[in-house]
Structure 1
């Protein structure tokens, strides 16, 4: 997953000065923000473009703004235990307030995060392993009498999650919060451990109740849960942090017979997303959606980016067009292509590819990590967050993941719709949105070519021309 690719001091100043796109005047012009993979430009405001009738380019992007597709929930990253611990324990009040406003506010340079993810119990990015109903070995708690949002193990980072999420919601009340477990409590599992194993059949109902209790407890604590998955990466069995294998058959039963009916009793239940794993095994969500009882309760398929190809999203959507898609985890880090090519990889695969593949929301992994890619308890040793918090001083720097995400999150607002645009060519990829509040159009373009590429964007009787620098990303905004 992630490494710390902090921007230079000059780039940081440029980022701080670069505010969200202002409301556009009625006069026709196109605003442009540009980033280059070599770091020379980071969200740099370029000169406005005038509309013309030129088609003098090898690449033409045709836009049909009247043909609208999915409505967007938003873009963001996960508030892991580690992220929350750093924000609460390693920053002073002024530093914390500055960071949270920059991440969650709109306007005045805010990143505009509208979507986030929490872990139900520990992940690898916790300071220790725990569940929300741990019991001594050999003991069980099917009535969940010992359930608590505060784990029995101290200083895991879980204690800091609620304060951070509540502060984020105060800054951005539109923030959508989803949640995923990495494991059921050990006593529910075949091996009596948070690591490895699978869910015992006799504890399907208890695990569903465990997830419902979490939803209710979070609501009582002031954090409404927008969506749930029943298991993070259910086909992955890592050696050193909580996990649980959960087959398509087990998820079908859990959702169709237990969790779905229980949540349906609530006035505003969270949505249920299936899968929450990679693009490479599309047969897994298809098997769940093929089951009528489970299909009734599954609202969407959640995807991760670590294996396979993004076109799996489109194939599953084509098979079940009434089900939404979300990209719920992808991390930057010290591995190829993320190490040297994070800007273009994140933009092309997630902000463009996954959204063209019907995603309504895109989430990167950790919101924040420290200078040592942590803290963590097992798992990824070279991951990076949107920001890097210096654990000694509390100061933060923005990573290339932040820059890539900002090309969407600062400009595409909640309920914006993706609109029709032509497929990429000549290493130039694009996605286009129409904002619901003011009708403005937002186009994200990535040029992966080692040379500059000139394109024409045209639609609604108007066109503009732009020459993308080699290996660059740009956001265009116009009315």
Structure 2
């Protein structure tokens, strides 16, 4: 991680106070921001060594009639999917890292995620029970045979996940939260173990026995109605318990990565098994007003979705689909087969804890692939991690904020700036806008916010300045994008009138 991405407390508070990047930017850049602000337009760029640099926004010029007078056309008259929001995932280890900070620094870090002066996250994910970034394995009811759920309790979440979510809500009261489990209670599984596979080489042993292993293409959940009914009620009890804590769960998905046998909490389901469970879940969630998405899909095989949706009772309750990792390979086919269901990017591919510029560039390419395929939401994975980003099951992963346990301070990673370029400017309810180019200038995304403003997020992967002429109605915006940079421009509605 380069020093340019390190954020001192003074820098963080400067950003929250309304001067974006005041602790990091040279005086000249801050002055340029003042000039750009006169029209209400703004332009920020991030490179490997200089995050969130401000630039003057050029005036829009009349479009020339020549055929090649512009490189790409922003088609404001052809809006596409409506954006549900950007966010990240809550975790126990993330909250443990935040509690190492003083109250002032913790507030500063959270503000950089959940306020309009930061990433402005509006929709986040939380695990329903343990995930691979919980302290260790747990569920809300580990009493074997407790079909009435007499021993159900979210007491553990009151130590970690609930305070994490409530701290975010204090900064973003309208924050939406969705949930999915990594594993059901162990007594609801055929193998009786939270995991589905032995530990990977060099990782902590999880104690699973050969007869307890799960396998892709088989159902590890016990396929009996009394288990389906109890598990659906388990979801309902969870939603009700969180509501009592002041947290509304808006959407649930039945299983994280339902094809994957992992050494951490996991559970394999076949599409047919999910189709059998979903009507039970629908009956439990309907009275609570909770939406059900199918997910999360981590295989590039659209037939896995089609097999679930072929069951009329299952298809009736499914309103959307969560997709992550290799599932992105199925996006074009899914959009073609199921044009009416929402698609969410449900987990940022998490890397191996290097928190470097290369992976932020990869993250950008992945996000663009999702939105080009019609996705309406994006969820980063670990928002906050301690130095090293290690899970309890031995996999170091990236995060947006890194907390140093020794210095009791935090830094921002390149992934933070990637998410700020998108989430900080694209409002929930924005419409994605297509950008066409027959000259090969295809490395951008555009959105029209509910207030009428245009957000253009443009990438320059070259090692030199790249000039791009964007046609907007009858005018052209010419940008000299810095070398190896990610750029976000916001043009207010008044500048877009033709």
1:463 to 476, 479, 487: 476
- Give 5+ residue unaligned stretches, structure 1: 152-156
Shift of 1:54: 5.9
1:94 to 100, 104, 109: 104
2:242 to 202, 218, 228: 218
Q: Verify the 8 A CA contact 2:190 2:221 in the aligned structure 1.
A: yes
- Give 5+ residue unaligned stretches, structure 2: 23-32, 197-213, 215-219, 493-498
1:312-360, Cα deviation, whole Å (9 max, x unpaired): 2232122111100000101343389x7551232112211x221222111
CA distance in 1, matches of 2:130, 2:353: 24
The answer for the alignment partner of 2:137 in structure 1 is 129
CA distance in 1, matches of 2:466, 2:239: 49
- Which structure has more strand as a fraction of its residues? 1
Q: Verify the 8 A CA contact 2:35 2:56 in the aligned structure 1.
A: no
CA distance in 1, matches of 2:181, 2:34: 40
The answer for the alignment partner of 1:143 in structure 2 is 148
The answer for the alignment partner of 1:283 in structure 2 is 303
CA distance in 2, matches of 1:370, 1:324: 34
The alignment covers a number of residue pairs equal to: 451
CA root-mean-square deviation: 2.8
1:370 aligns with 2:375: no
Helix, strand or coil at the partner of 1:413: coil
Q: Verify the 8 A CA contact 1:386 1:402 in the aligned structure 2.
A: yes
Structure 1 length-normalised TM: 0.87
Compared CA separation, residues 23 and 254, structure 1 to 2 (3 A): farther
Q: 1:48-59 residue pairs with structure 2 within 5 A?
A: 48-53=57-62
1:265 aligns with 2:287: yes
Structure 2 length-normalised TM: 0.84
Shift of 1:205: 1.4
Compared CA separation, residues 311 and 124, structure 1 to 2 (3 A): closer
1:274 aligns with 2:263: no
1:47 aligns with 2:61: no
1:88-146, Cα deviation, whole Å (9 max, x unpaired): 3x12222222222221111xx322111111011111101111111112xxx32111111
Q: 1:129-208 residue pairs with structure 2 within 5 A?
A: 129-135=137-143, 139-151=144-156, 159-196=159-196, 197=214, 198-202=220-224, 203-208=227-232
Helix, strand or coil at the partner of 1:264: helix
RCO higher in structure (CA 8 A, sep ≥6) = 1
CA distance in 2, matches of 1:168, 1:460: 39
1:49-75, Cα deviation, whole Å (9 max, x unpaired): 111136697972211212211211211
The answer for the alignment partner of 1:347 in structure 2 is 364
1:82 aligns with 2:96: no
The answer for the alignment partner of 2:118 in structure 1 is 110
1:313 aligns with 2:331: yes
CA distance in 2, matches of 1:451, 1:328: 34
Compared CA separation, residues 225 and 5, structure 1 to 2 (3 A): farther
1:448 to 461, 464, 476: 461
Larger radius of gyration: 2
Q: Verify the 8 A CA contact 2:7 2:412 in the aligned structure 1.
A: no
Shift of 1:249: 0.7
Helix, strand or coil at the partner of 1:67: coil
Shift of 1:419: 1.7
Q: Verify the 8 A CA contact 2:5 2:51 in the aligned structure 1.
A: no
Helix, strand or coil at the partner of 2:336: helix
Compared CA separation, residues 371 and 442, structure 1 to 2 (3 A): same
Compared CA separation, residues 320 and 9, structure 1 to 2 (3 A): closer
1:232 aligns with 2:237: no
Q: Verify the 8 A CA contact 2:7 2:410 in the aligned structure 1.
A: no
2:351 to 333, 346, 349: 333
1:191-240, Cα deviation, whole Å (9 max, x unpaired): 1111124110121111111111111111111100111110101111112x
The answer for the alignment partner of 1:250 in structure 2 is 273
